[in-house]
Amino acid sequence: MKYINTAKQIIAILLVCLVVGVVIISEHSWPEGARDYLFAHAFEDTGATNTVSAIYLGYRAMDTLGETLVLLVAITGTMAILVNLGKDTIEEEAVHFCLPPEKRAKNALRTHLLEVVSSKLGPIVLLFGFYVMLYGHISPGGGFQGGVIVASSIVFLALGTETKSKLTNTVVLSRIEAIAFLALVLASISGVFFETGFFGNPIKPETDLSANFIILLNIIIGLKVGTSIATMCIAMMGGRHDL
């Protein structure tokens, strides 16, 4: 019985990799039509110098909306599965990262280094995250990358127990996430009322303000990604399971 199974697996791998191999290995020149058009028109269409964010927040903004939905559903699903994961065992509970020093078990291997570094490093990484988010349309970066860096800074703050800031409170985080998602949907619908259709840029392309729509989208997506990943990481690190 065992051989039939491995034989099946080998046949499956061979068949699929035959077809995929032909598509990957075959030699073909890369089309330059899209690149030339963007090189000429990207700036005055969307006002963004970084053509990649011009595409994924301007021309193909629908993909970014789909991507944010995938992130939202994945994190909601993970949280739903995490919540009824059941309580950890007692000694696991004691070693949790987020417990203040006096409540934690003595044998938890937590050097002082982590506390000093994390509470000092947190604000700097937060600042860098917002920089990457806000300058998305000029220098490389943008909504998602900025959001993840903001999320890692929030995790730093949650690790360090000296700074008890509201930022690491999961209720506040999920509120910001809900507002950001609502703002994203409203921003995408706003194009409809300015007759440029769904996900259109409500600001007229000619004016030099048209980059603001991309900045707005970057901020909203950055906040949403940052808060949702931070919420998940804090819940994973044994923070409050009260979601």
The answer to whether 231 and 243 have CB atoms below 8 angstroms apart is yes
With contact defined as beta carbons under 8 Å apart, do 71 and 225 qualify?
Answer: yes
Indicate whether 140 belongs to the interface with other proteins (CB under 8 A). yes
Minimal distance in Å, beta carbon 86 to other proteins? 7
CB of 168 to other proteins, least distance (A): 15
Decide whether 1 or 113 has the Cβ nearer to other proteins: 1
Q: Where does this chain touch other proteins (CB under 8 A) — which range of 101-109, 114-122, 159-167, 227-235? A: 227-235
**Minimum distance from CB of 98 to other proteins (Å)?**
14
Is 199:62 a contact under the CB 8 Å cutoff? yes
Shortest distance in whole angstroms from residue 225 CB to other proteins: 8
Residue 148 found at the interface with other proteins (CB under 8 A): yes
> If you compute the radius of gyration of the chain from its CA atoms, what whole number of angstroms results?
23
Binders of other proteins in range 39-98 (CB under 8 A): 39, 41-43, 45, 49-56, 58-67, 69-78, 80-82, 84-86
Show the tokens assigned to 187: 């921003």
Site for other proteins in 158-197 (CB under 8 A): 171, 174-175, 177-179, 181-182, 184-186, 188-189, 191-192, 195-197
Residues that contact other proteins, how many (by CB under 8 A) = 110
Q: How far is CA 128 from the centre of its chain?
A: 15
Residue 208 Cβ, how far from other proteins at the closest point, in Å? 15
Q: Are 159 and 100 in contact (CB under 8 A)?
A: no
128/34 Cα distance (integer angstroms): 32
Terminus-to-terminus CA distance in the chain, angstroms?
Answer: 46
Q: Locate 107 and state its tokens.
A: 């044998």
Of 31 and 102, which CB lies nearer to other proteins in the complex structure?
31
Single-letter amino acid code for the residue at 51: T
Asked whether position 211 contacts other proteins by CB under 8 A, the answer is: no
Tell which positions 100-139 bind other proteins, by CB under 8 A: 132, 138-139
Nearest alpha carbon to residue 71 among 142, 153, 1, 147: 147
Contacts to other proteins from residues 5-34, by CB under 8 A: 5-6, 8-9, 11-34
Q: Based on CB atoms, which residue is closest to other proteins, 32 or 102?
A: 32
The dihedral built from the CA positions of residue 157, 75, 73 and 140, taken in this order, carries a sign that is positive
